Amino acid sequence: MYRRDFIKVSAAAAAAAALSPALVSCGGSAGGKKKAGKGGPLKMSYYPYVVELQHTFTISGFSRDTTTVLLVEIEYDGVTGYGEAALPPYMVGQTLETASAFLDKVDLSQFSDPFEMDEILGYVDSLAEGMSCPKCGIDIALHDLVGKLLDKPLYKIWGYNGNNTPDTSFTIGMDTKEVIIQKTNEAEPYNILKVKLGSTEAEDKMIVETIREVTDKPIVVDANQGWKDKFYALDMICWLKEKGVKFVEQPMPKTIYDDMAWVTERSPLPTIADESCQRLVDIRKLYGVFTGINIKLLKCTGLREAHRMVETARGLGMMLMIGCTTETSCAVSAMAQLAPVVDFADLDGNLLISNDCFSGMRIVNGKITLNDLPGIGVTKL
Ligand code: MG
């Protein structure tokens, strides 16, 4: 469904809901009691929350035990939409202070129709360069709100079959051999393992060989820009192919295009852009350079743009992956709404934390499993 049609349908449904309160019902625990009313201005609030990780998480360049997130709520007509803006260290310049300062600038009280999403989110995006994380928090909350007002999950509003979801990969960070064995065993419920490489050749090969001592499950690799030379990157990819690896994410530094295109042309495995692919506008530079793109809400400002990226990449015949960071089930469930149309999903961010404050999409036998709750499908715990 095109967005203008979606908005048209949304507006029609909203009008129907206003006329017929019986058409709209939504559990309080899933986001507030719905009642027909006059609406009034949108009300936004936010608060910080520190997400605790089960294991210290190390990727090429960073190591951490917690992630600070900002939880965003938008209220309209007695209904609350939930959103989340995680602030991982690699989103440089987006800290608790700067993201809060951005949210303080946002005045949603000038809007009294949440279905005017394009205008509202266009206004939010125009307030500052960058700041994709807090923009994402607002975007998710607004999408959740609109889904609740329509009493439908977003994936259904978009016309997707909720059963067509892929398995998620489960991430194993860089670690010692003993910890990698332990983490691989802990990953027993998952069907695909994701490993973080991009260190020395000896270290990278040790990680993959250690996992192969424990399991023959498919592995996907994220090098996080760690390989600097195109010949080395191609050699590593060929070696990984022999080890049962399915694709390699961001083998080389994000602004290297010519060498990356050279690698992709010769690579026996698909290459997926992550750090190279932030927003919709980047896709034109990546066509012919990578096989596919990894979409993350945090990078692209949220579901509005993520949905456009899906359509654009599909139109170019590129592969699609969705990812997340270590965050609660709020943001992960929002991203999962697009799972029915992607090739690969890495939605384990909520599984790696110990203090989730939402329940939402679940992983059942390794597969992303969407529920029928409206909006992003979450319940606040
Ligand atoms: Mg990545």
At 295-323, the pLDDT tens digits run 999 999 999 999 999 999 999 999 999 99
Q: Domains of the chain by range and CATH? A: 3-28+42-156 (3.30.390.10), 160-380 (3.20.20.120)
| Distance from Cα 28 to the centre of ligand 1, integer Å | 36
> What is the Å distance from ligand 1's center to 249 Cα?
6
104 alpha carbon – ligand 1 mean position (Å): 30
Residue 350 has a pLDDT of 87
pLDDT at 57: 67
Residue 61 is predicted with a pLDDT of 57
Q: How far is the CA of 58 from the centre of ligand 1 (A)?
A: 12
Beta-carbon contacts of residue 180 (< 8 Å; ≥ 6 apart): 172, 207, 210, 211
Going from the C-alpha of 72 to that of each of 85, 103, 136, 167, 365, the distances in angstroms are: 7, 9, 10, 28, 31
C-alpha to C-alpha distance for 301 and 286, rounded to whole angstroms = 19
14: pLDDT strictly greater than 50:
no
Give residue 207's pLDDT band: very low, low, confident or very high (50, 70, 90).
very high
Q: Are 208 and 219 in contact (CB under 8 A)?
A: yes
User: For residue range 236-272, what is the model confidence (pLDDT) as tens digits?
Assistant: 999 999 999 999 999 999 999 999 999 999 999 999 9
Per residue in 59-80, is it b (16+ CB within 10 Å) or e — as a string?
A: bbeeeeeebbbbbbbbbbbebb
| 174 pLDDT tier (thresholds 50, 70, 90) | confident
Residue with token string 């040790």: 206
What is the Rg, in whole angstroms, of the alpha carbon atoms belonging to the chain? 21
Find out whether 339 and 322 touch, Cβ atoms under 8 Å. Answer: yes
Question: What is the distance in A from the centroid of ligand 1 to the CA of 259?
Answer: 19
How far, in Å, from the CA of 275 to the mean position of ligand 1?
7
Neighbouring-strand partners of residue 290: 287
User: Which amino acid is it at 38?
Assistant: K
Q: 122 CA to middle of ligand 1, Å?
A: 27
Q: Which residues surround ligand 1, an ion (CB under 5 A)?
A: 222, 249, 274
What pTM did the predictor assign?
Answer: 0.86
Q: How far is the CA of 17 from the centre of ligand 1 (A)?
A: 41
